[in-house]
Structures are given as structure tokens and as C-alpha cells.
Amino acid sequence: MRLLIVEDDLIIASELERALRQQGHHADIAHDGESGLRFAFDKPYSVILLDVMLPGMTGFEVCRALRKASISTPIIMLTALDSIDDKVEGLDAGADDYLPKPFALKELFARLRALERRESQQKSEVIEVADLRIDTAHHTVTRGGQEISLTKRELSLLIALARHTGHVLDREMILQRVFQNEEALPNTVNFHMSSLRKKIDPPHLPRLIHTIHGLGYSLRPPDPVEETP
């Protein structure tokens, strides 16, 4: 999993990052609300660990801003504020879980596993982007009603892009999410992306898969210009 830690206490943030890394996860760290918001807008994360008492924007404000922007990444609030009213405010702001400080790392890991299971169940569904339809449970893909045959790797790559529609996935994220960090040749991502693009975006259809030069790849609906006859 790739997580975002938004925590102004440098020691706590560092210890969390180290503990998560030891569990095989990857984590970015932001030390204030505005930075956390930028990170969450710029990259897709599996979970956001969000402190409440932050300089600038509070964790509640960050959470509300993310939900208002339709970013549905699971959020666990981490805070010393453990009154019922504080918990209610956090959950009403859009948080998925609430973990009062101090907490045991094994409890945090258990909650992360629970969120991962829930997300996995929720993601066994149909994803639609423009006229592209992906049935993740039955492993079928159609565009404009026409079935598209994909290899297992191409399907995994397409699902990773579709689950983060509008976001940019860089090579590191693709290798982590699609190839599970297994050994791959330098041009592996290019090869599979090129093959996938030929099937999803044939010349007579508007593009859905976009190369963001220097950053990575993004799946998004066609621009209005591209939709014009």
C-alpha cells in the first residue's frame, strides 16, 4: 500500500513511516494541512493517516476539502482529541476511521488491513469512464459496447488507471500496483502501456489514456475538443 501521513510532529511522522516501511508499505509525509492537501490531490493513495491538530488547516478541514473534491481515499484520523464530539466531527467530515493517540502500532495495522479488505470488496464492481466499461469482477472490458480482449497484465494496468481516473500514475506506482515490484526491464511499462493504448484508443476513437510527459500516465474522459465531430 502507498499511504500519506499528514502529521506535524516530526518524530511521530518519522516513526510511522519507518513502521509502515517495515510492513512493506510506502509512505509520503506532509507536516501541515495545506501540504497534505496538495499531496492528496497530486497522487493516488491507498489510505491517508490524518492528524487533526495541524498548522494552517486542521485535519477536519483537510478531510472536508478532499471529500468536496470527490477524493474518496480512505482516511484514518489520528488525534489526541478523543471526545465523542471530536469523533463525530471527524466522521461527519468524511473520515472512515478514528484512532486516538497514543495508539499501538498493531492496532493501526489491523485497521489498515480492515480498510484494505473493505476497499477490495468495494472495488469488485463496474468502472465506467466515458464509453469505456470495466467489470472488475468478471474481468470484461468494453468500449462503445464492443468487447476488448486484454491480457492479464493489460487488464491490471487498465484497472489501476481506472481506479484513479484523472490522477497521474508514475512508473513507480505502476510497478508497485501492477507488477507488485517484481523485477522488470526498463521498457516493461512502456511496452504494456503501448499495447493497452492500441486496444483502448484505436485511431477512430477519442483518447482516454494520456501520457503526461515527465510524470506518467492518466486515464480520463475525452476533452471537449476531442468530442467535437
Whether 189 shows a pLDDT value over 90: the answer reads no
Summarize the confidence of residues 164-189 as an average pLDDT.
76
pTM for the structure as a whole: 0.58
Domain spans of the chain, in order of start:
2-122, 126-227
Pairing mode, strands 140-143 and 132-135: antiparallel
Q: Please, which pLDDT band fits residue 50 given cuts at 50, 70 and 90? A: very high
Domain 2-122 has CATH 3.40.50.2300: yes
pLDDT digits (tens, 9 = 90+) for 59-113: 999 999 998 887 878 999 998 877 778 888 888 888 989 888 889 999 999 999 8
Summarize the confidence of residues 11-20 as an average pLDDT.
95
Q: Please, which pLDDT band fits residue 185 given cuts at 50, 70 and 90? A: low
- Topology of domain 126-227, per CATH? Arc Repressor Mutant, subunit A (1.10.10)
Q: State the CB neighbour count (10 A cutoff) for residue 165.
A: 17
pLDDT digits (tens, 9 = 90+) for 101-159: 889 999 999 999 888 877 766 655 789 999 999 988 778 999 999 999 999 889 989 99
Whether 58 shows a pLDDT value over 80: the answer reads yes
| Top-ranked range on mean pLDDT: pick from 27-36, 116-125, 173-182 | 27-36
